[in-house]
Amino acid sequence: MIAPFNATIGPPPSGSPPPEPRVAKSQAAKPQAAEPSDAELPVGDRHPIAAISAPWQSQLTAFDAALRRRGLSDATRRAYAKDLEQLAAWACERDTERADLDLKNLRRFVQQLSAGGLAPSSLARKIASIRTFYATLVERGEADQNLAELLTTPRQPRDLPRILSKSEAARLLEGIPKSTPLELRDRAMFELAYACGLRAAELIGLTLKSVDLDEEQVRVEGKGGRTRMVPVGELAAAAVRDYLDRGRPRLEADRTASTLFLTKSGKPLQPSDVRRRLQGSLRRAGVAAGISPHALRHSFATHLLNGGADLRSVQELLGHRSISATQIYTRVESQRLRAQYGRAHPRA
């Protein structure tokens, strides 16, 4: 849960000031380097909380409440809060409250971020945060229009996602032993991630009721509170059943725990646990390093498209709100076809 925006700094308590601490001569003789003021620091390095006025604090609190109602995750809300605190601090330095901000102010703020060396991807995210903020203002009737819609989002190169080949995916999954409870868990976890295209957060959020092995499907709680049903392949279903029969009972510390995948102490996994266990499995399988849990999701989508699945079906399976987010996988397939053409055609 995000901490409330209540870090306003008040005046020191009344009364005589405490005596200054005694300093040794050797210490007193050393000149102390003056810390740069907030005005001398880049926008991203300033200390916004202490500089935010009470009206802006109220706006930020209302914004967080609106994001919570939309069902956004804690991590997403924290990212939005950080971006808006930065805008609020910048505005307060100029004695500008939210109602007084105009498009010229917003463009100046964005230009200052860009001039400070902020990466295009980070700048695009901050603009998206501001747009969302203004969208909530319009919803509440506190603004007539979304001024941030008129901000220009910087162009940024869109890197193709790193994926595993089919043989690499098979080598990774089949290389995970099935002797100990943790090995059974890892095999089930990564089989399910690849078979269903799950995000790491979705994977560790699964409960015992999420998986229906009789129907061979999994109920996934995705981003924005959206729920989707995803088929589970036979190999993944078998790995989950094996984990439930022989692995999970030996990890349970509390018989009432409902989380599907547990740590060795019986607690829910964290995303860092998933990354760490995947890296170990990759090393054992001799698969290239640098593969993240999200690469299993990318591989799921790419292999489906390569196998003839249509783009709309892949969009639904991934839980993408917009098909434009799914279309990047067609670029992966196009790149593969171009490479094959270059190798095979005599006049390529």
Q: Which residues are catalytic?
A: 199, 223, 294, 297, 320, 329
Taking CA 122 as the corner, what is the angle to CA 116 and CA 125, rounded to the nearest 5 degrees?
A: 130
| Residue burial 285-305, b: 16+ Cβ < 10 Å; e: rest | bebeeebebebbbbbbbbbbb
Quote the distance between the C-alpha of residue 343 and its chain's center.
Answer: 38
Radius of gyration from C-alpha coordinates of the chain: 26
* Maximum distance among all Cα pairs of the chain, rounded to whole angstroms: 90
Main-chain phi, psi angles of 334, to 5 degrees: -60, -40
| Among candidate residues 278, 326, 333, the one with its CA nearest the CA of residue 303 | 333
The single residue listed with the structure tokens 């729920």 is: 227
Calpha distance 5→79 (Å, rounded) = 14
Calpha distance 62→59 (Å, rounded) = 5
Torsion of Cα atoms, 59 then 13 then 36 then 60, to 10°: -10
Cβ atoms of residues 106 and 90 within 8 Å: no
Taking CA 325 as the corner, what is the angle to CA 319 and CA 328, rounded to the nearest 5 degrees?
A: 125
CB under 8 A, 24+ apart: contacts of 140-144: 140/62, 140/66
